[in-house]
Amino acid sequence: MEVSFVTSAPDPKQRPERVLPEFAFIGRSNCGKSSLINHVLGRRDLARTGGKPGRTRLMNYFLVDDRFYVVDLPGYGFAKVSKTQRAAWHQLFRRYLACQDRPLAVFQLLDARHKPSAGDREVAGWIADSGHPCALAITKIDKVGTNSRPARYHEIITTLGADPDTPFFPTSARVGTGRLEMLAWVEALLAANADPEETGGI
């Protein structure tokens, strides 16, 4: 897999000019977003991990195999940000999701240890309203005992208010779970997108 960093855009208007399908990763600060992106793209240090939460307010674009972008969106839900910063973040994300001029799909990330927050539910609602295909990635499943996992996943999905048909992927960047399943979803959307007869692309 060939991956390169393209740009950090402060605003959807400053996205790369070249239009390709975009797979956006969105989740609360510290949910494991950077780690999961690195895991899925098979890179150790592409997206910076373990940084100060709430710091990244840029949309980071990565080009994968010259075919699609992975977009690392700013993490939300960090308590120590001002109302103004929070509002700016909301605006950025809603503007990004409102873009209908680019093929776009979203992975919403949820930490396996926590019940989804009000912020998670709000974001899930925005994604659903946008009409873009969405999948859930449950992160850090190594932190939850194997036997309790199914109940945790069920609780997360129902608390989130997600459509029960939403694809979801249990993942762990630490032990290396979920990569192939997530990439299979990406490939399926890319294939549907490439075939004009097919609906259900992005």
Ligand X SMILES: Nc1nc2c(ncn2[C@@H]2O[C@H](COP(=O)(O)OP(=O)(O)O)[C@@H](O)[C@H]2O)c(=O)[nH]1
- Binding region for ligand X (CB under 6 A): 27, 29-35, 49-50, 53, 75, 139-140, 142-143, 172-174
Residues 26, 34, 36, 152: which binds Mg ion (CB under 5 A)?
34
Instruction: Rank residues 60 and 189 by Cβ distance to Mg ion and give the closer one.
Output: 60
Cα(82)–Cα(87) distance, rounded to whole angstroms? 9
Please identify which residue in the block is written with the tokens 């999905």: 157
State the nearest-atom distance from the C-beta of 28 to ligand X, in Å: 7
Stretch that binds Mg ion, among 17-25, 28-36, 143-151, 164-172 (CB under 5 A): 28-36
Cα(15)–Cα(133) distance, rounded to whole angstroms? 20
State the nearest-atom distance from the C-beta of 195 to ligand X, in Å: 34
Write out the two tokens for 54. 């709430």
Instruction: Rank residues 53 and 201 by Cβ distance to Mg ion and give the closer one.
Output: 53
**Collapsing DSSP states into helix, strand and coil, what is residue 173?**
coil
Q: Are 110 and 125 in contact (CB under 8 A)?
A: no
Q: Which amino acid is at 147?
A: N
**Residue 57 site contact among ligand X, Mg ion, none (CB < 5 to 8 Å, cut-off depends on kind):** none
